[in-house]
Chain A
Amino acid sequence: MRKPGLRGERALLRIGEYLVGCACRRLPRGTGKDRYREWVAELPAILHDPEIRFAPYRAVRMLGYAADTLRGAARTSGRTRHRPPAPLALLLGVLFAAGLALVAWDIRTAVRAPGHWPNYLYLTWSLFLAAWPLGQYAWSTARMTRLLFFGGLLAGMVVNIWTAVQAPANWVNYLVAACYFSVVLLLLWLMRRFGRRHGLSVRPGSTR
């Protein structure tokens, strides 16, 4: 590969590669890796296009190329949505129902005690919990919702610890925290197991 000659070129290429990666996650397993190789290889060529003298225009063109692969991937694949296998779909359905129930419960709690800020954090977390199973049905949103979901899990842990520290004598806090951690561990184990078996967690560069 040619050495980057302009400042910020590596960062631009990384942005381009990220966009192409997002596009390739929409493609079927067989073609995603191939397309990623092909499209990413074009990025330096566009950035060094001798026919375009104005460097910022080359950068814009490269980013435009990368961004438009998202549209191209959607048109090439003919499917942007992913249907998980039956056992995982069942698990996702249960999670979604649990998420909705939690959302309703947390809204009720937040309305009863509007000044207690952890309630809002709980509500946010339960919204993520409800959103994550839906995100699994669309390749384009799967990664983002996964990040949000795990971010929400960590936030939930922090809130539980904080609540327990605030009232150390209240055994209910410890019970809630223990239940929460157990549920989190169970979820992680189930996702790891099903994710591996059905290949849900995939990166564009991987051999999917």
Chain B
Amino acid sequence: MTVPLERVLRAFLDEPTAPRYGYDLMKAASLQSGTLYPLLARLEQQKLVASAWETPQQEGQRPRKYYRLTGEGIRVARLELARSSRQERTPGRPGRLAPGSLG
């Protein structure tokens, strides 16, 4: 698992069911937009993240897009982060990704 992906998953897991918008995630994960959005697109493609448009509160306001982890996303994120933590604790073994993991 890459460091940016780990940061995004951790940001999501701070409040797993809460919808988060892009800029919010950028700040939480300390990532630039050019790194974050391709990651989100990939997670969405894998159905680990779902997105929705907000309803504008004021007339003329542009709706923002929110992201949240799906049920499967929460499960996979927790699993991957736990695996990553285990690998960090055993520095002698190089981290190898399991087939079908987030990579």
Contacts and interface: CB of A to CB of B under 8 A. Distances in A.
The answer to whether A and B belong to the same complex is yes
Contacts of A42: 21-23, 64
A41 B62 contact: yes
B33 interface: yes
B64 A38 contact: yes
Interface residues of A, number: 24
Q: Is the interface of A mostly helix, strand, loop or mixed?
A: helix
B60 interface: yes
Contacts of A148: none
A39 to B, nearest CB: 7
Contacts of B77: none
Contact of B34 (A40, A51, A75): A75
A65 interface: yes
B26 A65 contact: yes
B55 interface: no
Interface in A1-60: 1-2, 35, 37-42, 44-46, 49, 51
Interface of B: 21-23, 26-27, 32-38, 41, 58, 60-65
